[in-house]
Chains A and B, each alone.
Chain A
């Protein structure tokens, strides 16, 4: 907070930019970044050099490591993990092997399946590079012994249990009892798309509470974290002190100090975590008549496709002029797997927007496009579009594509809105009560 104050002030101070000066290359520091996860068998360490102004040996790297690699990977290092403590792994030394070079360039990633980690045990990392430089670090593995995870008056009973979260009313609470835990980190991601990170927050106790109304204050549009009509995957992380310090500290851009380094002979992290995951189903107040429940079916008395949409408008205009999100449940187009037709059970959330649709020339507040992904038994992307009618059925265009974008079905379905919010600004009871009753359904 003190540092934030300084940066705010500095941004307000006018000074002239100085002429750029060329420097000699600095030193290359060994950077080690490895976080052991109790819930994963495979462990890895990323070894790279710091940038020193000398581009020799630089390769095209990526951010998602693995499978990508760092820009200045360290090849040919001996990376070992020694286990200490009671149990079968005591004294065992595991070696992480260098992931084979890709395209002729070293990967800088060293991976392996070490002896099973256990809470309270110490793991010691030792790295000896090809030129003889040594780096050491150690971590004591944390473990979750008990947990209380609740939202909307419900407690999670098992991992990946789905909890309801009424955006305007509920708070997601996570508390652990821990063996050797130093802090808690919570990642909130779209259930259907993990790359969509909605929130990453940490706390130096073993509990945290996240209100449903939370917004990102540094997004000028006030991006909301929990959008009604979506499933979110909650990853709750119990951290050791090394990884917690790695998260919470930075190398100050002014003084160069501040990063809490626990690596001897280098910089970075060798930490460990224990992880649990839960789902939440976010609902909320509704005000617009276009919100509510829709039934989408094929024509005829025995339709293959029979879907129920539960829509919530948002004001996040990145998703269109009048964006919305919604849960979709029911039965999708059957999929042939190994020449056997299999039913596609749908229980996911997707995004869409009102205002435009294919074939609708002018702005129409009832025109919509909505898409969602069904992963099992095969990946299929469903895109629904049409023009909503408030009190009557209306045609809905359906396009189903594969992951590669090939169209596998075009069809016209029949849509009908079965419920909408009360006309006043008060939260409608019936639709949301229904939404709540659906909360325990997992995608």
Chain B
């Protein structure tokens, strides 16, 4: 049966590689599930949860005493071990960061839920060790390709600009292209930056950045882990074409109130966590830049910008009813620049530019025997206002998402883990340009989009050597009269205990789009619109083939090749008629192929990774085919974390990127101003004449960053001063070129990306 299934799957992927393959695989899978329920189980199935918040404990080692039977819990905390002796069974459960527990399993009981108590002192190394467990467990138990997990300590220790940053760390992973130092935006395997789904505890975040994309919104200290999926993502994810960044905010400490603070050159931050009355926990983190306050305190100048954010999570276990978690985030960037002072004749005029995300979500996890019902409801929004106030002109853009859904996870045994779910999403986007002074509304576009979806995701251990993960997703967007069927399948064939061949294929749809020009080097933030009768639902097909191998259980080597297509991508239409809705975009198609290599050491005193990516990606729009702006052929990132001098811990990052395309200029022209009063041209401005679109390339990119961090314990406070150097060899990586064709000979100058930039800061924990 195994041979039959894999042969069929292979044939389908080589031919019409979607509907047939997955429908067949799912049919086979489901066809096998039904009789399994009637079989006599020879396994003990269970789930390991934390007592503090009923969150699943991944990587817990479950051993049956007196036998060799053992198992590791998966990411949902579930485990399954053979029952060697149904008459009497004692098991021990060990998990890093938790007290070891031993239980007696009553006779005849085949499933149980285990609650573990967190260890009183949660040391950093414990978190670090959690990394390999996750990756190795995933390797052993899941047919899930293209996924990298970063733990909180790894995120904190990657040297980045000014202060630790989640998205900056993500930019260093395979398959990812970061176009320049000034943006936390990233392109994954040829996709656009708006094709990256970023979720915080399962809640979509529209624009996860501050200061025009220079810093991300997430506090690394509050992050439990970050799963980054660069392709072939499972059926439970939807809404984006190219990647998923699934960030889990950790629950607060259940034993006592703890805190952490940070003082960097950019901002100051305070995090508090601890138990709540009863058995719940809380975690609150607040951050704000302070340079505006410093400037105001010591000079007469005004720095008219700051950003701030607030993140909170409350987790409350409800005993047999599982647990409830609430996650909230609010962030704001604010620029307020006085342009004109008020006088007798003039009103004050201010340039105001505010933007930020806000979200609130609840998740209820209800254990159901060996299964679990997860129900989520959330609201997430992004809003921006840019304008001349009062009343001269303003631009408003809001993106709101209300969503609710449930997923049921079942572990019927015999290697099956099934997840089914339904969800509803309601997008409300609004873009408006108005001027009260001129009594005009120049642009007023509203988008109301509903997405109904259902999915099925099956993890099937067909045999000890073969894992299959068929899935499918059905999506309906009434406003766009769209029904999309997204088959997905992943497979893993073990060549040995430490090596496997992997493959996945899937179809993905995206009902929301950004109309920011992807060829501009910085994405200040995405300007979202959503599908309706005019705006189509974009589509991408992924095909991934790979090889994953482990050396000594702590060194991971992954090689994956991929091919992607992009259809109905939405790009901005500069010729749009502002007074009508429906012409604000131009459609584009595209494709990408390449391969990624990851060599990663998860444990030991020297750890880190080497990531290499090869990509070719093109777009076709308005009859012209051209390389995408992120068509970087080679990307290398080396990240090493090791003991450093003077009892420090050292982190080094070196990056290389082959030349990125840009549109070169071949001349300039006088764009004249017509004087209708006198019927003459009376003024002009010089503007460039562009050459072939993205027909030129910048020089290659290279940067070395290094950081040292010390840890000193004093009076129950752990002080962690750090020192970092960004661009240690001060390479002038090109950011932009400027051309002058007005003189002979013509010349080109430009501005570089970040120069050598030493920074320092202080973390403390108490």
Contacts and interface: CB of A to CB of B under 8 A. Distances in A.
Contacts of A211: 437-438
A277 interface: yes
B43 interface: no
B749 A21 contact: yes
A23 interface: yes
Contacts of B745: 22-25, 53
Contacts of A130: none
Contacts of A391: none
B85 interface: no
B579 A208 contact: no
A155 interface: no
A92 interface: no
Contact of B744 (A5, A55, A205, A275): A55
B744 A25 contact: yes
B522 A314 contact: no
Nearest to A173: B439
A206 B688 CA distance: 31
Interface in B487-518: 516-517
Contact of B339 (A64, A71, A214, A218): A218
Nearest to A9: B212
A9 B438 contact: no
Interface string B579-603: 1000000000000000000000000
A187 B676 contact: yes
A438 interface: no
Contact of B669 (A6, A29, A205, A258): A29
Interface string B645-679: 00000000000000000011111111111111111
B440 interface: yes
Contacts of A29: 666-667, 669, 689
A249 to B, nearest CB: 6
Interface string A57-92: 000000111100011000000000000000000000
Contacts of A4: 386
A20 B349 contact: no
Interface string B511-545: 00000110111101001000000000000000000
A100 to B, nearest CB: 18
Contacts of A33: 672, 674, 681
B349 A18 contact: no
Interface stretch (A34-42, A298-306, A332-340): A34-42
Contact of B667 (A26, A63, A200, A214): A26
A52 interface: yes
B677 A52 contact: no
Interface string A260-293: 1000000111000101010000001001000000
Contacts of A217: 339-340, 349, 351, 388, 392
B680 interface: yes
A215 B346 contact: yes
B690 interface: yes
Contact of A21 (B519, B664, B747): B747
A153 interface: no
A5 B686 CA distance: 21
Contacts of B748: 20-23
Nearest to B395: A1
Contacts of A253: 687-688, 738
Contacts of A9: 212, 522, 524
A367 interface: no
A315 interface: yes
Interface in A83-120: none
Given A218-B339, A257-B519, A52 B579 contact: no
Contact of A5 (B392, B524, B674, B741): B524
Interface stretch (A219-227, A348-356, A410-418): A219-227
Given A18-B732, A18-B750, A51-B742, A204 B442 contact: yes
B417 interface: no
A243 interface: yes
B751 A16 contact: yes
Given A18-B750, A31-B670, A255-B690, A194 B344 contact: no
Interface string A233-263: 1010100000101110111111111111000
B764 interface: no
B605 interface: no
Given A25-B744, A251-B688, A209 B439 contact: yes
9 contacts: A1-B393, A2-B524, A31-B670, A215-B346, A222-B343, A222-B349, A246-B674, A250-B687, A284-B345
Interface of A: 1-2, 4-6, 8-10, 12-29, 31, 33, 35, 37, 40, 42, 46, 48, 50-55, 63-66, 70-71, 167, 171, 185, 187, 189, 194-195, 200-201, 203-205, 208-211, 213-215, 217-222, 224, 233, 235, 237, 243, 245-247, 249-260, 267-269, 273, 275, 277, 284, 287, 314-315
